[in-house]
């Protein structure tokens, strides 16, 4: 039995899932294939419907 969780993909969904699990005190292994996490959302300039900055 292991109490760790592996999250595959470090985009907005992977980051959010990892943070939620980590905040519950669960050890997370976040695996991202690119050199940095951030995913597609980091490539966006602003987000709808509030035109907030994406990063």
Partner 1 sequence: MLDAGRHPKINLLAYSEVEQVSGEVGAFQAKVRKKARYVNEDLCTGCGACVEKCPSTVEDEFNVGLGQRKAIYKYFPQGIPSTHCIDAEHCRQLGQGKKCGVCAKVCQAGAVDYEQQDQLVDLEVGAIVLATGYDVFDPSVIPEYGFDRIDNVVTALEFERLLSASGPTGGHLDRPSELALRAEIAELDKDLNKLNRQIEKLEEKHGKKTSDFIGEFQAGKAGEDGDFERWAALAEKAAAVAEKLAPMKKREAAAHTAKKLAFIQCVGSRDFRFNRFCSSYCCMHSVKEAMIAHEHDNETTSSIFCMDLRAVGRGFEEYKLRGGRSANIQYVRGRVAEITEDSHHNPIVWYESTTTRKVEHETFDMVVLATACVPSSSTPKLAELIGLELDENGFFKTYPLVPLDTTRPGVFVCGCAQGPMDIPESVAQASSAAARAAEVVAPVPKAAAGGGE
Binding characters for partner 1, 33-52, by CB under 8 A (x = yes): xxxxxxxxxxxxxxxxxxx-
Spell out the residues 6+ positions from residue 31 whose beta carbon is closer than 8 angstroms to its own. 6, 7, 8, 9, 10
- Could you tell me how many residues of this chain bind partner 1 (CB under 8 A)? 52
Calculate the CA dihedral of residues 22, 1, 34, 18 and round it to 10 degrees.
-20
Binding letters toward partner 1, positions 2-21, x by CB under 8 A? xxxxxxxxxxxxxxxxxxxx
- CB 53 to partner 1: min, Å: 10
Name the site residues for partner 1 (rule: CB under 8 A): 1-51, 55
């Amino acid at each position: 039995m292991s109490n760790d969780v592996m999250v595959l993909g470090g985009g907005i969904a992977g980051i959010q899932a990892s943070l939620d699990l980590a905040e519950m005190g669960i050890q997370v292994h976040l695996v991202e294939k690119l050199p940095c996490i951030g995913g597609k959302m980091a490539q966006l300039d602003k987000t709808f419907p509030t035109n907030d900055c994406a990063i």
